[in-house]
């Protein structure tokens, strides 16, 4: 036998084909794919502006957005299509985001940077929202008024305590039945 064949057999001896290992491998690959999909793309923000780029990011992943002065929620239809402007629009600001039941992760919050008028953020029942994601909430400290974290099973009390940077926000966490009202800091 050749050296390459012997080397291949030596490597295969460490291969684990148990069903639990295969499931874990595919779950890990799925997480890696989601992280790559939610990476920050500077060109998107350059061409669309911060608010419209964030709207495209959220709506494409199954969430919905509401713009300031507009009563309609923009979301995908049954065929996965959505209508949002494809170029920068002046005076278009995201006021509310509903990303509940999406796979939003820590990496995805970089796409929400620069939302100066965001008042409402609902990230309920997102399986990847953890304490690390709460550190990204400081970017909304001047505008956020309502934050819904209900059903986020990976959140702990230490992650919620990181929300003290927010000036005024009403936080509702259903898992631990915690209702926190933070007042305006003086």
Global pTM value = 0.83
Which tokens go with 24?
């874990």
Per domain, the residue ranges of the chain are 38-182
The pLDDT assigned to 6 comes to 82
Q: Which two tokens stand for residue 36?
A: 């790559």
What does the alpha-carbon distance between residue 74 and residue 184 come to, in Å, rounded to a whole number?
31
What class, spelled out in words, does domain 38-182 have in CATH?
Answer: alpha beta
Listed in sequence order, the residues at least 6 apart from 68 whose beta carbon sits closer than 8 Å to its beta carbon are: 92, 93, 94, 95, 117
pLDDT for the residue numbered 186: 46
Is pLDDT of 156 > 50? yes
From residue 1, how far is each of 5, 6, 81 by CA, in Å?
Answer: 6, 7, 56
pLDDT in tens, 84-126: 999 999 999 999 999 999 999 999 999 999 999 999 999 999 9
Of the two residues 153 and 104, the one the predictor is more confident about is 104
């Amino acid at each position: 036998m050749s050296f390459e064949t012997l080397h291949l057999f030596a490597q295969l001896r460490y291969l684990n084909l148990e069903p639990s290992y295969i499931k874990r491998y595919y779950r890990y690959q799925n997480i890696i794919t989601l992280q790559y999909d939610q990476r920050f793309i500077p060109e998107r923000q350059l061409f669309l502006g911060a608010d419209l780029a964030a709207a495209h990011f959220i709506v494409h992943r199954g969430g919905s957005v509401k713009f300031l002065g507009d009563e309609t929620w923009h979301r995908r239809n049954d065929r996965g299509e959505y209508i949002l402007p494809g170029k920068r629009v002046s005076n278009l600001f995201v006021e509310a985001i509903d990303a509940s039941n999406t796979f939003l992760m820590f990496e995805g919050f970089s796409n929400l940077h620069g939302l100066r008028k965001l008042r409402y953020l609902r990230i309920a029942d997102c399986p990847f929202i953890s304490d690390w994601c709460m550190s990204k909430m400081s970017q909304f400290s001047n505008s956020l008024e309502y934050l819904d974290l209900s059903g986020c099973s990976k959140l702990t009390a230490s992650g919620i305590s990181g929300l003290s940077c927010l000036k005024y926000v009403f936080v509702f966490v259903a898992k631990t039945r915690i209702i926190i009202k933070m007042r305006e800091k003086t």
